[in-house]
Structure 1
Amino acid sequence: MKSSTQILLAAALGFLLSVGPAVAASQPPAVGGKLPEITLAAPQDAELQLYLGVRGKQTFAIPEIKAEVVLIEIFSMY
């Protein structure tokens, strides 16, 4: 009985901790507002790193991309 209660409490705690980020990001950025800081993994391909201007990095942020315009397409999938 004690073991099943601990498992149930651990599952409930895990659920509650996972809901927080989803609720925090439920509102889209305001029109004309800035995106939050997003860190992305750099591509492994050297040619793609050169194209993005992030050569030699493990991760990069959107403002580090060497371009006049960066288009970001965001999909909301459930």
Structure 2
Amino acid sequence: MTMTKTTTANSTPTRPIRVPLDLWDEFGDVSKQLGSNRTALILEFMRWMARRPGSKLPKRPDVPPAASSA
């Protein structure tokens, strides 16, 4: 399969979004804290917002990111 810059290995097209760098970094830290990654959490949230059957709101960390890095 030939991949373009807008297609990943599993044929999911990329969707560029604008996110402030500090929020992106913080979200990455939270994702790792939860044992996940940004993509998985964003997709989980989107499924929940779209009311897909069986979807659940993603878990939030017990400790805010700023407090966990102190």
- Provide the TM-score with structure 1 as the length reference: 0.22
The normalised TM-score by structure 2 is 0.23
Report the structure, 1 or 2, having the larger strand content: 1
